[in-house]
Amino acid sequence: MDITGIAKSHHAKSIATGKPSNKEWKLSDSLRERITEYAREDAAQNVYMGNKFLTLRKSEVAKVAPDRVGIPGLLADQGA
């Protein structure tokens, strides 16, 4: 199986529908500023990716990531 086509895909497809996903993530200026602020705070404390940054990253991923808990059920229903 050739995975290079997957990596070059411009639109993610929903597993449930097979249609392109409308969710698209972009790094806004305010988000960039918060990341920079957290990086400076963490560097001052000699910490790599502190709790504030990890929480921010988790919340941003949750906005665009598929429902990972529901995926195994969808695959089982489709007979995969």
The larger pLDDT score, comparing residue 64 to residue 39, is at 39
The larger pLDDT score, comparing residue 62 to residue 6, is at 62
Round to whole Å and give the CA distance between 64 and 25. Answer: 7
State the pTM of this model: 0.53
pLDDT digits (tens, 9 = 90+) for 7-53: 444 444 555 555 555 567 788 999 999 999 999 999 999 999 999 99
C-alpha atoms less than 13 angstroms from C-alpha of 21 in its C-beta half-sphere: 16
pLDDT mean over 51-72: 83
pLDDT at residue 8, rounded to an integer: 46
Q: For residues 29-51, b (16+ Cβ closer than 10 Å) or e, as one string?
A: eeeeeebeebbeebeeeeeeeee
